[in-house]
Homo-oligomer: A and B are copies of this chain.
Amino acid sequence: MTRPITLFTGQWADLPLEEVARLASGWGYDGLELACWGDHLDPWQWEDDAYVQGKLDLLAKYDLKVYAISNHLKGQAVCDDPIDQRHRDILSDTVWGDGDPEGVRQRAAEEMKHTARLAAKLGVKTVIGFTGSSIWKYVAMFPPASQELIDAGYQDFADRWNPILDVFDEVGVRFAHEVHPSEIAYDYWTTVRTLEAIGHRKTFGLNWDPSHFIWQGLNPVDFILEFKDLIYHVDCKDVKLNLGNGRNGRLGSHLPWSDLRRGWDFVSTGRGDVPWETAFRALNQIGYDGPISVEWEDAGMDRLVGAPEALEFVKRNAFDAPAAAFDAAFSSR
């Protein structure tokens, strides 16, 4: 394996970063995809060189690298409508402020700019995150949303993200959007439309995370081949369907994670329905050479058991392409 395997720290933010680093290093991970919440990373401190160096020193102490950082939670708030209690639960006081929706959105946008700046300071070229969306709520299609409303949603996205991306350009960092329900791009065709909305600006690419593809019926392997120039990062989060009895539905029934009446759930990487090996071969085909990051989430399994197992799984299946073409051997007369 020439590509590093990292662990995304988002689902470990209840632990101090040092503890997460100690664990990940012990299991054999090559690095961390640091989350910008908990005590892991704070973008508002990007100008504090000591803060930044402290993070790098901590990683070095455990022989870990950082190739990308993530800020899903604040990216989400940039375009979202409504802004409500759910956001209050995941935003810092700095961004939430008085909770006025438009203010929240603007402070979230500000943090995303800082995230780019922090990435640059850390020597990292990629920021992963969500975009939020003002039109996700129309997914139900009832009451019907007019074409004008839909169009306005994509325009709102472009209006809010272009200034953020300008800062990304200034500091030489790319944004990798994670295609996901609740976001402006949540499936294949909305990804196509989103890229059009932003004028196919290369600063804006994709974080390939197949966990929401499977239950929507999307092909995660083809997605890699189709958007081959835009795969800026890879998150390995797995999902298992539990459909077919005619009662469990695709929309989750407002049931909590790990409840088997849900039509699908996240599971430890390698235990779900994602065609990982074929996907890794597709990453070889497009020449992706960035990190393979394990995003571990499984509400029915102990993460201390699952995370090292997931690492072994990825190592066994994300093998490199062979150096030479195969036919050479065969055509020897």
Contact = CB atoms under 8 A, between A and B. Distances in A.
A185 to B, nearest CB: 10
A188 B219 contact: no
Contacts of A284: 300
A284 to B, nearest CB: 6
Contact of A222 (B246, B258, B322, B330): B246
Interface stretch (A10-18, A53-61, A163-171, A199-207): A10-18
Nearest to A15: B329
A215 interface: yes
A14 B329 contact: yes
A271 interface: yes
B135 A137 contact: no
Contacts of A329: 11-15, 303
22 contacts: A12-B329, A73-B333, A76-B143, A86-B138, A89-B146, A90-B333, A93-B333, A135-B254, A140-B182, A144-B327, A150-B254, A153-B254, A188-B247, A217-B243, A217-B263, A258-B285, A260-B285, A271-B277, A298-B326, A299-B327, A300-B321, A302-B323
Contacts of A260: 221, 225, 278, 281-282, 285
Mostly, the A contact residues are: loop
A333 B256 contact: no
A4 interface: no
Interface string A30-62: 000000011000000000000000000000000
A86 B13 contact: no
A322 B300 CA distance: 6
Interface string A248-275: 1111111111111101000000010000
Interface of A: 10-15, 37-38, 73, 76, 81-82, 85-87, 89-93, 130, 135-147, 149-150, 153, 180-182, 186-190, 193, 215-219, 221-223, 225, 240, 242-261, 263, 271, 277-278, 281-282, 284-285, 297-303, 305, 319-323, 325-333
Given A143-B86, A187-B251, A260-B221, A332 B245 contact: no
A256 B330 CA distance: 14
A245 B242 contact: no
Contacts of A90: 143-144, 330-331, 333
B326 A217 contact: no
Contacts of A257: 326-327
Given A14-B328, A86-B144, A89-B331, 9 more contacts: A12-B329, A14-B332, A15-B329, A187-B251, A189-B255, A217-B249, A217-B250, A221-B242, A302-B322
Contacts of A189: 247-249, 253-255, 261
Contact of A319 (B282, B297, B305): B305
Contacts of A135: 254
A73 B143 contact: yes
A143 B251 contact: no
A249 B144 contact: no
A319 B301 contact: yes
A261 B225 CA distance: 9
